[in-house]
Copies of this chain bind each other. A is one copy, B any other.
Amino acid sequence: MSIGYLGPNGSYSHGATLKYKAEKDEIIEYDTITNVIKALENNEINKCIVPIENAIYGSVLDTMDAILEYKDIYIIDEVIVDINHILMSKQKDCQIARIYSHPQALAQCKKYLLENYDSVETIPVSSTSYAAKLAAKESGTACICNIACKDIYNLEVISDKIQEIKKNQTKFIVLSKEKNKRETKKTSLIFSTKDEPGALYKILGLFSLADINLTKIESRPAKTKLGDYMFFVDIDGDEKEERVEKAFSMIKDFCDEFRIIGSY
């Protein structure tokens, strides 16, 4: 089994992949989230692990947009990872002119950066570990990344736990082209409502009447015109349960598009 993830080594995605993988699984790094998911779509790998949502900055839009685009990939599992951002540099006491990190990490540490490095340039790069790789090469620069990068790239810690909230977590999902066969507890779906007043209210009502608990609801533009949305919803329950199947079959009548992205 081969599993793709956003590299290089030391990224949070790498950590999530190590947490998830079985002993014999081969893991393969890619340079962007879009390229990880594209590799799955093109059958270069069997599975991939990508971040979908962070407690501070919210949804990872590249992942959501790839799920919207490729209609034959499914979520088969999730991995929750504690996220603790650390400011590191080649030498601890040098003047910092530039700070590298992934845009999500920069956003999660925005307050710290404004308070401590307001006039320092922040440079968004493709991953936190790639930021570490750059900071390890260039004097006078720092990176925001995972503690795992300290030893891999030989860096020194300037400041620990610099994100906005201390209990910071990211949810990663495992994607595959084959649906889950095991019994599961949670289902993710995407739908767009028909252009009728109260369509979303009716859909939420059907979930409620079937005693199905919604654990997440997020909207993304449908990419047609301003004001058209697709909803990403997580529910408690497996898509093979009778009450879930029945509710879905009624809900579909209020939707233009309706797609189950997997039970896990």
Q: Which residues of A contact B (CB under 8 A)?
A: 34, 53-58, 61, 65, 80, 103, 107, 110, 114, 124, 164-165, 167, 169-171, 197-198, 200-201, 204-205, 207-208, 213-221, 223-229
User: Which B residues are CB-close (under 8 A) to A220?
Assistant: 58
Task: Check if A213 sits within 8 Å of B226, measured CB to CB.
Answer: no
Task: Check if A55 sits within 8 Å of B226, measured CB to CB.
Answer: yes
**25 pairs across A/B with beta carbons < 8 Å?**
A54-B221, A54-B226, A55-B221, A56-B221, A58-B61, A58-B220, A58-B221, A61-B107, A65-B110, A103-B103, A165-B223, A165-B224, A169-B225, A171-B226, A198-B204, A198-B208, A200-B204, A200-B214, A201-B201, A201-B204, A201-B208, A215-B227, A216-B229, A218-B229, A219-B219
User: Which B residues are CB-close (under 8 A) to A56?
Assistant: 221, 223
User: Which B residues are CB-close (under 8 A) to A219?
Assistant: 58, 217-219
Among A55, A165, A220, A228, which residue has the most Cβ atoms of chain B within 10 A?
A: A55
Task: Check if A103 sits within 8 Å of B124, measured CB to CB.
Answer: yes
